[in-house]
Structure 1
Amino acid sequence: MFHTEEESIVTMINHIAQNNVSAGSESDVADIVENHITKFWSRRMKKILSEQLAKGSETFEPAAKLAAERLSAKISA
């Protein structure tokens, strides 16, 4: 199954959130996801993530969406 780059970005953030669900609350998981993306993702990947969030066209895990919203706010600031 082929995915667009945009779909892959959303899938990756969702996987990061799913893999850290044992960290606690949704906010705690979002902190971990946000830190991971800040450290390891390129600016381009973060920009694509922000665009996908703005489009609302992809399905985000709740903690992944919270992390994406936080990151998008930093990008646009």
Structure 2
Amino acid sequence: MNDQELMKDTKLYTRWAIALSLVLVVIWPGIMFSTGYIYSLQFFKGWVCLAFGWLIIAALFITIRPLIELYKEYK
């Protein structure tokens, strides 16, 4: 990859990261808080499972994708 492609990808992924962070950390919980929703234990467990699933998928992507790109580069 050249520097121009890296800068393009950096901008794209930065926008995605900011947008997802705003939606998942601010907007979605903010809407639920403003409606007076009472969090149950079941709901909390669901959020924890969702967070762990997200972490596992991110870790796999961060680990495997560079290996695939390295393989393609040597091929």
TM-score by length of 1: 0.33
Q: Which has the higher helix share?
A: 2
TM-score by length of structure 2 reads 0.34
Max radius of gyration: which structure? 2
